[in-house]
Amino acid sequence: MTNDERRATGDGRLGAYEVLRPTLDTSRIRADFPILAEQVNGRSVVFLDSAASSQKPVQVLQAMDDVYRHAYANVHRGVYTFSEAATERYEQARVKIARFIGAPAAENIVFTRNATEALNLLAYSYGRHFLQPGDEILITELEHHANFVPWQVLAQERGLRLKFIPISPEGRLALDKLDELLTPRTRLLSFAHVSNVLGAITDPRPIIQRAHAIGARVIVDGSQSVPHMPVNVVELDCDFLVFSGHKMLGPTGIGVLYGKRDLLDAMPPFLTGGDMISAVGFDGPRWNDVPLKFEAGTPAFVEAIGLGAAVDYLSALDMSAVRAHERELTAYALERMSEVPGAKIIGPTDPDVRGGVVTFTLDRVHPHDLASLLDREGVAIRAGHHCAQPLHIRLGLSATARASFYIYTEPHEVDALIEAIYKARHALKR
């Protein structure tokens, strides 16, 4: 049965046989991504691992290539034409990113290598400076290692208590436990806006309000939300937000830390040397202003310019449309996956509270074996613990399979995934 022949369930939700009406012009979008024309094992590629890292449109590739070809020179350090041109484009990228997340000013945006480095910066600079023995840090059971291990290390070093918001049986945060977990000793709360495994979307606003009410600071890991839905840091009132460029059409090696200006001003630098210094003499250094205070050495300015081009691309699509597109795909994938014998979906089954991620297990089939067999059909998914081993321990699982979607994903690719799973089951006689 073709997509055109599928019918609506009539209850307002996407059913297994509903026509998927695109919210984005995916055929036009896909033309911007050269890699999607490639073949794997003689088959058209079906890329379903965008939660790990997204593909790149020609607009991003060209923006970076143009710098290398026509305006490459170190930024902030030269008074000649190339350097001034590169500096202007680098700082303009900072402005674009600030606007994209609703930050008050470009100075709120610190460039890092990725979200992982941004979280480590916060643990090192904010945590070691402001937290004292006996203070409490609250995170959740569903965090990526990047938002787990830095706080474990900090807690061990500083004599802090690390506490965890549990997950509910439905795979969402059990926020009814929040009041008992927040105490007068809670100084910091850090959590993922969207889980990279469960896909669960958490509304940050009530959590932030309750944390602020007791004087705690809040970090939001936006790695799986900023690329996929509208995010406004002023509306959320988060103290810090982190995300990676490579998950939102941008290149690797560039990430973002948003911070409220007074907090960034109060924090000591993470690394030293280069542009983060205003002046230095034999008697010691004087730090530069925010955000340069946290950007030591030659920055990844070409990558930042590439991320700026990615932000331009996403802004032109409208992030509400991006979210609507992924919500439809996720609903369709959940319905199709429910048809597969032995498949168990991990996380919420309501697409309204789930990002563009479908994580699952297949009875008597190891996720790594499944991913390998799917690759023979040109279908790329992720298998393993997805850098969230504590969550898998909590779920009693050693590994899961994960298909994830983005702006270039089409319904027929979900169909290709399901067909490939059936072929894998047949090959394994399961």
Catalytic residues: 387
Q: How far is CA 301 from CA 142, 181, 297, in A?
A: 33, 41, 11
Q: Is 361 helix (H, G, I), strand (E, B) or coil?
A: strand
At 296, list the tokens: 């030591």
What whole-number distance in Å separates Cα of residue 176 and Cα of residue 300? 42
What whole-number distance in Å separates Cα of residue 210 and Cα of residue 179? 8
Radius of gyration of the chain (CA): 22
Q: Is 360 helix (H, G, I), strand (E, B) or coil?
A: strand
Cα torsion 105, 111, 115, 118: sign: negative
The secondary structure of residue 397, as a DSSP letter, is -
For strands 46-47 and 255-259, give the pairing: unpaired
What whole-number distance in Å separates Cα of residue 320 and Cα of residue 314? 10
What whole-number distance in Å separates Cα of residue 396 and Cα of residue 369? 19
Q: Is 185 helix (H, G, I), strand (E, B) or coil?
A: coil
What whole-number distance in Å separates Cα of residue 339 and Cα of residue 418? 9
Q: Do 363 and 116 contact (CB within 8 A), yes or no? A: no
At 180, list the tokens: 């008992």
Amino acid at 29: I
At 420, list the tokens: 């490939």
- Measured at the alpha carbon of residue 267, what is the angle toward residues 146 and 75, in degrees to the nearest 5? 80
User: Of 304, 242, 336, which is closest to residue 48 (Cα–Cα)?
Assistant: 336
Q: How far is CA 191 from CA 4, 87, 141, 152, 263, in A?
A: 40, 34, 9, 14, 19
User: Of 354, 336, 334, 353, which is closest to residue 345 (Cα–Cα)?
Assistant: 334
What whole-number distance in Å separates Cα of residue 408 and Cα of residue 12? 25
